[in-house]
Structures are given as structure tokens and as C-alpha cells.
Structure 1
Amino acid sequence: MRTTVTSLFSDHPADAPAFGAPERAWMSYGGLRALSAEVTASLQGMGIGKGDRVAIVLPNGPEMAAAFVTVAQVATTAPLNPAYREEEYEFYLSDLRAKALLVTADYDGPALSAAQKSGMAIIRLHVPEGAPAGYFTLSSDAMGSAAPDAVTADDIALILHTSGTTSRPKIVPLLHSNVAASAEHIRASLELTADDRCMNVMPLFHIHGLIAAVTASLAAGGSIWCAPGFDALRFFGWMKEARPTWYTAVPTMHQAILSRAKRNADIIADTKLRFLRSSSASLPAQVMVALNDTFGAPVVEGYGMTEAAHQMASNPIGAGKQKPGAVGVEAGPKVRIAHEIENRLMEGTGEVVISGPNVTPGYEGNPEANEKNFFMDQGQRWFRTGDQGAFDADGYLILTGRLKEIINRGGEKISPLEVDGVLLDHPDIAQVVTFAVPHPKLGEEVAAAVVLSEGSEASEQDIRAFAATRMADFKVPRKVIIMDEIPKGATGKMQRIGLAEKLGLVEKA
């Protein structure tokens, strides 16, 4: 049984490919294991060992993927978004109590300034010319000697922060056993084998890319071709070079890929995908159908979050078993419905809760959040996801939205996902995000930001009239904002909370 990150790639054939990248030779599993030994020696020679926290600020690519899995076998990894500003790095590095910062050899950005202020060790990553994808060496002015203690299943492999949309970000420690369990769950649900190749376009400072693309592939002995990020204009060129059997992305990425699919039909036909995967936000049913028709492959929607080391539920991989609008069946941990206020399981619609080996032991240094988000029932410890949903008659989980995002219009509760689904049936709408705007009497009112299909000229009145024929009046958006692009977060997800402020729809007192 695999219980550590290292165990995920410890026994695959030495000559099998592990990491690839544009115009780079492949790193084999034998090469990855050799790199692991080198990284262990380097870090311990810098005084970095078990329990020490290494913040990683690296661009997307094979070195970031390889750094995560090799550093994790020595110390605790803490990947951070390379786009943060200096003040943000100061907060995160302090909050993490990081001992060292890992950056590229030529990096001179805000993370370095923040780290130098606190006096932490700086580790530089060098990529020798002509090296295979993912290979690097490390250097640092730091000197020391760390005990060669091997990490165990109960040691922390990865630390991430929850997004701080409505409150201070919370620290989520994920044990080696959590990461390994989630990797195995995803491998099993997607039926991954050594013949599978994932083309990763997800950011690797995020749980989706790290676990679904990288560690699940390693668990199967498959290969990961690492793009330098997501770029719809370059996606099909990469696809032609990488020849993947699958890729995983967030819904907005899938929609951008669809917009360029027709002109790349030859590459799609020549690169037969076994399946496509979507996660991190609900995939509109219309987009799932369009992807299936375009690629001629199953579209597997997964349901994940940081506290679960990513995956909780997944649509089955078999032909015709994917259900548009559902995030699938439980796929690893136990998934149940709980009362939104009382600490008990229940039937019907309520808060989605999970229990299993991939779930974090709890937020670090935050007993109040742990008391609020974890509870015991039926002899098991359950984590509250903050999502509202219900199981259908076939056992598929249908999400109705984030509890914090449910719009409360004078006591009428409105699911933004439901409104999204109706508006996406409009022939001129390509993307939509429904959100709440403050209202002086009702508390909240419904609004929607939309991106029109290329060449379309629908008006706000057209869209509202369309919606009025398909849903109750109180659900129809009172305001429709037509945009060229909807603001997105760092991982490509559209942000409902705070969107009214971003778009200037909140009246100043």
C-alpha cells in the first residue's frame, strides 16, 4: 500500500517516461528516483530536514512538478502562487513559518525580497542545458546538517492555504497518507495505467494540478507532459507534441479550448483522448455535452477541494456513465449530506460532508475553524465542505452551490448554478457567472455577468426575457452585465463572492 509521496514512484520500470515538456527530452522514472536521491542529499546538506517547511515559488513546468515530489520526501512543501505581491509573500512565508524559499536560479522577484527580510535560507534551482524535463540541481549559501530521517505516512507532505475570499486564509496541512490516498483514489476512478499520459495545463501551486495531474499519474506509472501554464492559443500545438490520453482543467479552460476546437479538428482526430476531466468548479451541462461531441471522449467531472487532498467524488469513466450536471458518485472518501446547522447526517438537500483517509487532520493553529468544520457522527469524523447538494436516485451528487454563495432574495434562496444553467441555454451566451448584489430591502438581488459567443449581439433585455420564460420571476437576474471577459481567480475559476464589488455594482454609503 502506497502511503507516502515517494512510494508513488518507487517501483515503476526505470526506463518508463515520467515527466515531459515542450521540446525537451523525457525524464524517466529511473531518472526521477536518481533526482530524488540528489535532492535529499542537497537539502540535508543545507540543514533542511524532516518537518522543515520549504516554500516553493517556481513557474509551471516539469521542474515544479519534480520539485514537489522530491522535496516532499525530505521536508514539507508549501507551493505559492508566483503572481503574489511582496506583501502577500510576507504574510504567507510568515504564516507558514517557512525555513527556506526555493526559486529559480535567476529569480529576483518579490518572494525573494520578502524572504530576505525574514532572513530565511534561499535555495536556487538550476536547469543544466540539455537536461531532460524536470531535472535540476540545487544550490544555497545555507550550510548545515539535517538528520537523515525518512518521512512517514503521518508527516506533513504539503501545506496549502484556503482562499481568503471572505476571511483570513486558513492553513491546510496534508499528510503523506492524505496525498497518497487521494492519488490512489483518482488513479482508480479514472482507471489510469502506465499507458496513460496527462497533459498538465493546471497551475502546480494548486491542489488540482499537483494531485490529479501529477501524483495520480505517478501512482499509475503513467507520464505527465507539463505545459508552462494554460494558453488556449497554444493548447492544440502542445496536444500535437505531447500526444496525451487525457487532460484535466477547470471549466473556464475547457470553454476556451472549445472556442478554438473547430480550427484544430485535425489534431483532435489525430490525438485520440481516452477521456477529459474537469474539476475545481461545477461544469455546466452544456459544456460537458459540447466537449463530448467535440473530442468524442467521455468527460469526467470530478469534485474536489484542498481539505480533501483534492478528489471527493467523480463521474464514472465508463462510456455513457457521466451525468451532465452531477459531480459523480463518491470516489474514495465517504460522501454524505449533513444538516447545515446541527452536527448530524441527514437525507435530502443539505451540506455535503466527507470522511476518509485523504481528509486533512485539521486546520493548523485554528481550533475555532476545526470546531466549526469537523464533527463526529455514527462513529466517524466528518468534514463540512461548505457546499450544498443532494444525491439523486442513482447515487450521483448534484451540487446546488456554495452555502456562502446561495443568494437570499428576501427569504427566497436561489442557486447561482441553477441560473447559470438556464442562461447557458441561450444561443448567444458562451460564459456566465451568476452572483449576488446587495439590495436595500430584499438583502440580496440576482445579477449575472455574461460573455457572448463570437459575433453575437444579444442585449441585456434579450437575455432577461429569455430567462423569464424558463424560471420563476424571483430567480431572473435583475442586472445582466455583458463583458468581453469575466474576472477569474489565480487558478482560472470564476469568483462569485466579491464580484459585485469588482464590477462596481455596490453603492457606496
Structure 2
Amino acid sequence: MQTLAELIQRHPDTAKAIGAPGRDWMTYGQLGTLTQSVRRSLRNAGVGAQDRVAIVLPNGPEMAAAFVTVAQSATTAPLNPAYKEDEFAFYLDDLKARAIIVEAGYDGPARAAAKRFGLRVIELTATDPAGAFTLSTDATGTAEDSSPTADDVALILHTSGTTSRPKIVPLLQANIAASAVHIGASLALTPADRCMNVMPLFHIHGLIAAVSASLAAGGSVWCAPGFDALKFFGWMEEARPTWYTAVPTMHQAILARAGRNAATIANVPLRFLRSSSASLPGPVMEALAETFKAPVIEGYGMTEAAHQMASNPLGAGKQKPGSVGVEAGPLVRVAHEIENRLVDGVGEIVISGPNVTPGYEGNPEANEKNFFETDGRRWFRTGDQGAFDAEGYLTLTGRLKEIINRGGEKVSPLEVDGVLSAHPAVAQVVTFAIPHDKLGEDIGAAIVLKEGQDATEREIRDFASTRLVAFKVPRKILILNDIPKGATGKLQRIGLAEKLGLV
């Protein structure tokens, strides 16, 4: 299967596809009808198969259905609805969007940003059943009614890196299809399976592991409006899933309420639980398995791989706490951290396979740095350090890059530097990772004020919160007379938390 359409359109029309709290189920037949309606709306708005459509919608069944249907007619670019106007403007301009889909009546920062570039604004009105909607727009035009091919881009996401400018990751139809099949195979998904999705649907994790893999297997996906630990077990009773996938912080919140919801856990037995997007502490994996009496499958994924690269195997006793499992789709190897060759032992994790992006868009320097060829294959450097044990299980030992992983949310420290540096009282700033017992890492910033200027930690955080989405705002700000520097006089992020006594 080479395209998302080929994966989804092969299932019985009467089978359930998309559900949501208090809503009737959308069937595969209804999803197919919606797909054709979306295509007509896009073509009549002048959006063709290679055009890019930003999608800014709340989490839920309409977001899932919008991604799946638009991706069968054009290129999707889901964006975090919590972004500020300037953030939307950056991403819309960078990805060269032709149109944007928002909720009917929405007049927030995404629409304001879209106006800057004269984008076609397409409004979505939810109908019944779950996931159903209509599209309307004042924009008119004509576009050739062709279908995306395996080599067309299905999904564009930005990934933060160690440079100040986020990198554009184009994922082809073939990449998405391959990853959905890989995940389905590693989880042995069948039409009898139902995923309860609590992941945000502007991230690769929810889009591919929860939605695409479920629909590729002919199963169903029940879409919550987001994660809420207080509502999780009530949703389980209604959705009756066979599995769910989440990040470690969500699993920890679920565990904290599991004791008082033992009846639900017994009444809605899960076939397995899945964790990805950040390292799952071994004790948490063991506690989840004991609580739910089901295997906990930790996966290792990233945007450039259309999500999954490795996964703990299914089956009692086959999961290794602290390990991200065995290769699960692409080839996974260890490379020398500087030289372009594969090695044994500890090194940089590299991957090669049909799910891997062809390369960053418009960024030859990043492609030169992150891709190399050897032994007749093209390999992608993940930036993670690790090693395999004798049984082929991969353990990550650290990250080579300075990216901050806040509970699965990846934050570029240079992006935060840029915002904080714009404060009129700030002379010098360096953003860095600080340890956090639940999130793994949180965001810290060391600041030197301009001579004669005053500013409090609260004032600087308030300044940042008007310019950054909430998860990027530093939780710890230190106002110092001087920031520790390396031997060459450069500001160093790595190890800064320890130098400042925050470890």
C-alpha cells in the first residue's frame, strides 16, 4: 500500500471508523463519502493535489477526519491551535500554505495570520455523526482533480532543532502508509481493535499511531477532546477501547487515579497500552502492566520517521523496562557520531526505511549533516545516542542535541532565547533543560539584565507567554550577574542546570 487512500478505502462500508464522547459512530462508508465531499470543496477553492492546507482545529473527531480526508486530496499541515499570531504567521509562511481550515465562526490568531498572506480561509462546521463536517469558503478557483501519488507529500510538520529556525519535515504518502503498516504489524492490530486517542492531533504520535494505524488496520479510533485524567476512566467506559497510546506524563497521571477506578479497569480490559514520544521510566512501565494486567508497549519514534522506529514486542514478559524495544519498521543501527559509518556498541542511532522522510525542505545544510549513505543505503541520524543488547533491544543513553524534551513536547532553546532577548531589560540569555521528575525535562533560562534595568522573573515569564505557546515558556528563570561560560567564552547549554545548582 503506497498511499493513505489505498489503506483506508479497502474496509467494509458498515464498519465503525471514528467515534467521540456522546456521538454516533462514523462508518468507513461515511468516511469515504466525506472524503469525496472534501475533495470537491478543496478543488472548488482552487486547492490541488500538491497544494498545502494548514489545519487549525481543536482535538477531537473532526480534527482526525479532517487530517484523513484532506490528506487524500492535498498536503496537510496541522498546527497547534494554541499558537500566538506571530507563531502562526511564521509557520504559514514557512510551509507555503495555500489554504487554512478553521472552525466556523473562529476569529482568532490563526485567521489573523492567514490574512497577512491572503490565504484561502475554509470554515469547517461539524455535523453528525462523530467526525462529520461540511466545508465552506468565499474563495473560488479551479484545480485539476487528480489524486496524490505515493511520491506526493501527505503531511508537513516542523521540528525544532539546535538551530534557531525550525526545520520543515515533508512526509510522503508512501512514508505515512509505510509507518501506519509498521505500527499495525508491531501491535498486531485487527478490525476488532479500538484505540482511545488522547494525544494531540497536531503531533506525529496521535496522527500516525492512533489515527492512521487504526484506520489502516480496519479498526476504529475514539477521539477524546484532549487528555483529561479526571475524565479518562469515564471515557474508557463509553469508548470500550482495546488500547490507548500516550506520553509518559499522561500514563503517570492515569496511574495516580487508577486505584479508585479498579472496576472500570476490570470491566474494560485492554489488550495492551502504548507509550511513546519520551522515555518511559521502568518503574512506570511495571506499574502500568500490573495495574491494567496488560503489556505496556514502549515505542521509539520521531517526526522524520513518520513516527515509529522501534517498539517493545507484544506478549507477556517480552517488554524490557528502560528499553525502547527492537527495530519495528525501518532498519535501526548504530553509527559513529562523527564519521559516516556504522559501528558496534554505543553511538548515534540511525535509521533507513520506507517511512523515513526524503529530507528536510529547503535546508541543504541540515540534510548534509543528518543524512549519509553507506553500504548502498541512505541513513538518517536521529541525534540520539544508544546501543543494542545481545537480544536486539535498543536502549537510549542520551541525546546528542540540545533540544529540550518537555514531556514529549520538543522545544528549541534558541527559539526561546530569541523571544526572551526581545525583552527591553534583557542583555543576555541562554535557555537550557532542567530535570523534572514527571516531564523528564522542563525549560530553564539564565538571564543577565542590562545595566540600570530591572525586571522580575514573573515579568519576564509574562512577556514570554504573550509570544510563545504555553509549553515553551520557561518554568524557571534565573536572573544572574554573569552566566557560566566554556573555555572559549561561549555560552553552553549542556550541563548548565548542574553548574547553576538546579540538579
TM-score range, shorter chain: 0.7 to 0.9
| Alpha-carbon contact 2:198-2:246 (below 8 Å) kept | yes
Please state whether the residue corresponding to 2:73 is helix, strand or coil. Answer: coil
Farther-moved stretch of structure 1 (36-45 vs 301-310): 36-45
Measured against aligned partners, the alpha-carbon deviations of 1:284-320 in whole angstroms (never above 9, x if no partner) come to 0000000001100000000000000000000001111
- Equivalent in the alignment of 1:272: 269
Distance 2:297 2:481 in 1: 43
Partner residue of 1:471?
A: none
Q: What is the aligned partner in structure 1 of residue 480 from structure 2?
A: 507
Computed over aligned residues only, the root mean square deviation of the Cα atoms, in angstroms, reads: 2.5
Match of 2:453 in 1: none
Q: Give the structure 1 partner of residue 198 of structure 2.
A: 201
**How has the CA–CA distance of structure 1 residues 378 and 38 changed in structure 2, closer, same or farther, with 3 Å as cutoff?**
same
Q: Does 1:141 align with 2:138?
A: yes
Q: Would the aligned equivalents of 2:99 and 2:121 in 1 still touch at CA under 8 Å?
A: yes
Say whether 1:380 aligns with 2:377: yes
How far apart, in 2, do the equivalents of 1:364 and 1:137 lie?
Answer: 32
Report the CA distance between 1:166 and its aligned residue.
Answer: 5.2
Following the alignment from structure 2 to structure 1, what is the Cα–Cα distance between the partners of residues 292 and 130?
Answer: 28
1:259 alignment counterpart = 256
Q: Secondary structure at the match of 1:341?
A: coil
- Deviations 1:204-230 (Å, cap 9, x if unpaired)? 000000000000001110000000000
The change in CA–CA distance for 1:359 and 1:193 in structure 2 (over 3 A counts) is same
SS of equivalent to 1:504: strand
* Maintained 8 Å contact 2:78/2:157: yes
Consecutive unaligned residues of structure 1, counting only runs of 5 or more, are 408-415, 421-434, 436-443, 453-488
**AA aligned opposite 2:164:** S
Q: Say whether the 8 Å CA contact 2:162–2:401 is kept in structure 1.
A: no
Name the counterpart of 1:51.
50
Q: What CA deviation, in whole Å up to 9, does each residue of 1:24-58 have, x standing for no partner?
A: 00000011011111111111111111111100000
Do the aligned partners of 2:18 and 2:130 also contact (CA within 8 Å) in 1?
yes
In structure 2, the residue matched to 1:95 is 94
**Helix, strand or coil for the counterpart of 2:277?**
coil
Residue 183 of structure 2 is matched in structure 1 by: 186
SS, match of residue 214 in structure 2 = helix
Question: 1:502 deviation in Å?
Answer: 3.8
CA pair 270-69 structure 1, distance change in 2 beyond 3 A:
same
Question: Matches of 1:69 and 1:141 in 2, distance apart?
Answer: 23
Do residues 244 (structure 1) and 217 (structure 2) align? no
- Quickly say closer, same or farther: Cα 1:36–1:156, change in 2 above 3 A: same
Aligned letter for 1:358? N
Is the partner of 2:294 in helix, strand or coil? coil
| Cα contact 2:161–2:403 (8 A) shared by 1 | no
List per-residue Cα deviations over 1:332-379 (Å, max 9, x = no partner).
000000001111100000000000000000000000000000000111
Q: Give the match for residue 63 of structure 2.
A: 64
For residues 36 and 406 of structure 1, what CA distance do their matches in structure 2 show? Answer: 37
What is the match of residue 168 of structure 1? 165
Q: Is residue 82 from structure 1 mapped to residue 81 from structure 2 by the alignment?
A: yes
TM-score between both structures, scaled by the size of structure 2: 0.82
Instruction: Report how far residue 508 of structure 1 moved.
Output: 4.3
* 1:485 aligned residue: none
Question: For 1:258, what is the secondary structure of its paired residue?
Answer: helix
Q: How many residues align?
A: 432
Task: Report matched runs for 1:327-342 at 5 Å.
Answer: 327-342=324-339
Give the Cα separation in 2 of the matches to 1:371 and 1:401.
22
User: How far, CA to CA, are the matches of 1:260 and 1:508 in structure 2?
Assistant: 44
The answer for the alignment partner of 1:456 in structure 2 is: none
Cα distance in 1 between the residues matched to 2:62 and 2:434: 42
- Where do 1:379-418 residues align within 5 Å? 379-405=376-402
Q: Quick one: distance in 2 between partners of 1:36 and 1:446?
A: 43
Whole-Å separation in 2 of the counterparts to 1:353 and 1:448: 26
Distance (Å, rounded) in 2 between the aligned partners of 1:347 and 1:192:
33
1:17 and 2:12 aligned: no
**2:117 is equivalent to residue 118 of structure 1:** yes
**Aligned residue number for residue 428 of structure 1:** none
Residue 297 of structure 2 aligns to a residue whose secondary structure is strand
Per the alignment, residue 7 of structure 1 pairs with: 6
| Other-structure match for 2:458 | none
Alignment partner, residue 500 of structure 2:
none
Alignment correspondent of 1:306: 303
3-state secondary structure, aligned to 1:42: helix
Q: Superposition pairs for residues 413-424 of structure 1, below 5 Å? A: none
Change (3 A) 1:205 1:448: closer
Matched position secondary structure for 2:135: strand
Q: Which runs of 4+ in 1 moved over 6 A?
A: 444-447
TM-score, normalising length: structure 1: 0.82
Structure 2: gaps of 5 or more residues = 408-412, 414-430, 440-464, 483-503
- Seen in structure 2, the aligned counterparts of structure 1 residues 246 and 120 have a Cα distance that, compared at 3 Å, is same
**Cα gap change, 1:269 to 1:56, in 2 (>3 Å):** same
1:219 alignment counterpart: 216
Counterparts of 2:475 and 2:23 in 1: how far apart (Å)? 41
The residue aligned with 2:154 is 157
Whole-Å separation in 1 of the counterparts to 2:32 and 2:437? 48
Aligned to 1:233, what secondary structure does the other structure show? coil
Distance 1:508 1:298, change over 3 A: farther
Identical-pair percentage: 70
Shift of 1:104: 0.6
Secondary structure of the structure 2 residue equivalent to 1:113: helix
After superposition, the C-alpha distances for 1:119-142 in whole angstroms (9 at most, x for unaligned) are: 1110000113xx100100100001
Equivalence map 1:359-374=2 (5 Å): 359-374=356-371
Letter in 1 for 2:69: T
Aligned-partner residue type, residue 246 of structure 2: A
Q: Is the 2:70–2:76 contact (alpha carbons within 8 Å) kept by the matching residues of 1?
A: yes
Q: What does the per-residue CA deviation read over 1:422-464, in whole Å, with 9 as the maximum and x for residues that have no partner?
A: xxxxxxxxxxxxx9xxxxxxxx999644469xxxxxxxxxxxx
Distance in 2 between residues matched to 1:286 and 1:183, nearest whole Å: 29
Name the residue aligned to 2:288.
Answer: 291
Provide, for residues 123-182 of structure 1, a one-character-per-residue CA deviation record: whole Å limited to 9, x for no partner: 000113xx1001001000011111011111000000000025653100000000000000
User: Do the aligned partners of residues 447 and 175 (structure 1) sit closer, same or farther apart at CA in structure 2, a change above 3 Å counting?
Assistant: closer
Shift of 1:405: 5.0
Q: Supply the distance in 2 between the matched residues of 1:64 and 1:228 (Cα, whole angstroms).
A: 10
Closer/same/farther in 2, CA of residues 164 and 445 from structure 1, 3 Å limit: closer
Q: Which residue of 1 aligns with 2:487?
A: none
The change in CA–CA distance for 1:405 and 1:116 in structure 2 (over 3 A counts) is closer
User: Which residue of the other structure, out of 321, 326, 340, is the alignment partner of 2:318?
Assistant: 321
CA 90–164 in structure 1, closer or farther in 2 if over 3 Å, else same: farther
